[in-house]
Structure 1
Amino acid sequence: MATVDAETGGVGGKGRGGRVGGGGAYYEAEELEERRWRSWLVPVIVVASVAVFVGEMYVNNCPDHFNSAGSCVARFLHRFSFQPLRENPLLGPSASTLEKMGALEWNKVVNQHQGWRLITCIWLHVGVIHLLVNMLSLIFIGIRLEQQFGFVRIGIIYLLSGFGGSVLSSLLLRNSVSVGASGALFGLLGSMLSELITNWSIYSNRAAALLSILFIIAINLAIGILPHVDNFAHIGGFATGFLLGFVLLARPQFGWMGRHDLTPSSQVRSKYKAYQYVFWVVALLLLIAGFTVGLVMLFKGKNGNDHCHWCHYLNCVPTSSWSCDT
């Protein structure tokens, strides 16, 4: 069983003031009021994920099944009690229950034509701990992003990033059952990075924001090389969200109209820069190419490891303390 988790964070310090000048003079543009949306999508996702987990435990019904690994945990919960800790230390259902509920498994996706698992696995979680970590991470970064960019764009990034993580995981992990929202969460994290890059000029503490995001990314990807963590879902989700950030999260920048007979306030306008259009086109082309190649390879039954013999080290690094084949 491959589990996923992500601890993510946010960045701040965005400044809307822009310095413009002409004819030997300059002035500081007034800070513009930024539209903020009410966040409702993220709370809905959290509630839905909790509801799905309750459904997992209802279907699992540990007390009604003999288990050689030991007795059920928290038996006072009756059919909602957890599998023995030796089987699932994260306080959750069995692998067979997750598989029944729509977990990601290569054989079922490719040979049994159950492509819907590429989406349903995003809503499943291995246990209470896994669910808690992912939902707290989603609340921490998702609400901020939704307030700034709206539910449509953040919803697209969340779902497509989760889907992208599932595709890459299926291509490179063929003998595991994988679930979790971490691919989607890494997509939001990736979009934060690309949003910072494409909107670089409106940030007042750019270096601090960039270092914060890069540090969080490095820590989470490092966690992913532990056994039983689906780091391919992390990487696929992050790459998808990173590219989507250039497409969906670009903001107009301040520009100079070039007429010095106007008042300062009328000489400032917002517009997209040329480099933002370049990022938009390149990112969109890479997204289309990546999904096309990935899905064609997946449903033709190709093994991604045949084309990347070292990629397995991105998912798990064997040490004297654990084996990646366990």
Structure 2
Amino acid sequence: MRGEDLESSRAKDRGESSSSTSYAIEERDNQWTSWLIPMFVVANVAMFVITMLINNCPKHNPRFDGKCVARFLGRFSFQPLKENPLLGPSASTLEKLGALEWRKVVHKHQGWRLISCIWLHAGVIHLLVNMLSLVIIGIHLEQQFGFVRIGVIYLLSGFGGSILSSLFIQRSISVGASGALFGLLGAMLAELITNWTIYTNKAAAILTIIFIVAINLGVGILPHVDNYAHIGGFLTGFLLGFILLPRPQYGWINRRDLPAGVRSRSRYKAYQYGLGLVSLILLVAGFTVGLVMLFRGENANDRCHWCHYLNCVPTSRWKCDDN
């Protein structure tokens, strides 16, 4: 049951007249048409096609000419599986097109890589998993909150994930939209918390989101997965959710419907303003500190000696490194 319906029914149970409750709750629930998220999907797919076109395995890797995967695709064929098991281009091609690489960001002043890397993918498998997740998560959020807020969350979360990744991983490249996707997950969790009172199945909703995030972060401790980008994107989206996604709570009275001389209630609760303000301060501070550390060339591993376990946990089956 929506919060508006619940509040209206309670008013009727208290014996209030229809005239006194007709203006007490705003019942409009705008639904936006999702177009930005589909455009993001198209942009990512198009960028992957361009990447494979430039990669051209048979021409640029003559020693692999017979070992390129799916040779019938011609210049779109994939690198040998030993080099790229995700069915994609070479690392050198990704680096050429804007992959996140610490030395080029810091020493060659190519800060644009912090954004360009989120539009590149390491292979078909990588692309399909991320785009499927983007469609499932992003379209719903865009329909609820509009393209501006969701677009801001997506881009800033990808940026935040890139900052954290480059602070900890400095000997390999990183690509993918997963930092931005984790930002959308973080925003969903924050939206649930800040709009707590309008949901009915609160426990089920929050446990579902936490379970999804935990599973994905758990996958991130496998080798060759940039879990720092996941964590940075999630934290950025989580803070942005408190800033951009609060909803009007129970009892909001529309000023236009009020009788003369009657004061309206605030659209938002005090705790929503508080969470938004604290989140804004933390977000600005986090971005500032992260960027200062990054362009000073600092290695965050020197300040956190156990943080490498957040990105990869060594086992008897694999070793952890930056490659």
Same fold flag (TM > 0.5): yes
Which residue number in structure 1 is paired with residue 52 of structure 2?
57
Q: Residue type of the partner of 1:232?
A: Y
Which residue number in structure 2 is paired with residue 101 of structure 1?
97
Q: Could you report, residue by residue, the CA deviation over 1:194-217 in whole angstroms, capped at 9, with x for unpaired residues?
A: 000000000111111001001001
1:226 equivalenced with 2:222 (yes/no): yes
Which residue number in structure 2 is paired with residue 32 of structure 1?
27
1: CA distance, partners of 2:78 / 2:240: 38
1:26 deviates by: 6.2
2: CA distance, partners of 1:285 / 1:187: 18
2: CA distance, partners of 1:198 / 1:221: 23
1:30 deviates by: 7.4
Contact 2:58/2:65 (CA < 8 Å) preserved in 1?
Answer: no
Which residue number in structure 2 is paired with residue 137 of structure 1?
133
Q: Could you report, residue by residue, the CA deviation over 1:21-75 in whole angstroms, capped at 9, with x for unpaired residues?
A: 6899267987823100000000000000000000000110000123469710111
Which residue number in structure 2 is paired with residue 48 of structure 1?
43
Change (3 A) 1:155 1:77: same
2: CA distance, partners of 1:279 / 1:144: 23
* Equivalent residue for 2:310, pick from 309, 314, 320: 314
Structure 1 gap ranges (5+): 1-12
Which residue number in structure 1 is paired with residue 81 of structure 2?
85
1:236 deviates by: 0.1
* Equivalent residue for 2:267, pick from 268, 271, 283: 271
1: CA distance, partners of 2:251 / 2:45: 46
Q: Could you report, residue by residue, the CA deviation over 1:71-91 in whole angstroms, capped at 9, with x for unpaired residues?
A: 101111110100011111110
Q: Which has the higher contact order (CA 8 A, sep 6+)?
A: 1
TM-score of the aligned structures, taking structure 1 as reference length: 0.89
1:169 equivalenced with 2:169 (yes/no): no
TM-score of the aligned structures, taking structure 2 as reference length: 0.90
1:17 deviates by: 2.8
1:300 equivalenced with 2:296 (yes/no): yes
Structure 2 gap ranges (5+): none
Relative to its length, the structure with more helix (as a share) is: 2
1:153-168 matches, within 5 Å, as 153-168=149-164
- Corresponding residue pairs, total: 308
1:285 equivalenced with 2:273 (yes/no): no
Change (3 A) 1:93 1:22: closer
* Equivalent residue for 2:237, pick from 227, 238, 241: 241
1:111 equivalenced with 2:100 (yes/no): no
Which residue number in structure 2 is paired with residue 75 of structure 1?
71
Which residue number in structure 1 is paired with residue 199 of structure 2?
203
Q: Could you report, residue by residue, the CA deviation over 1:133-172 in whole angstroms, capped at 9, with x for unpaired residues?
A: 0000000010000000000000000000000000000001
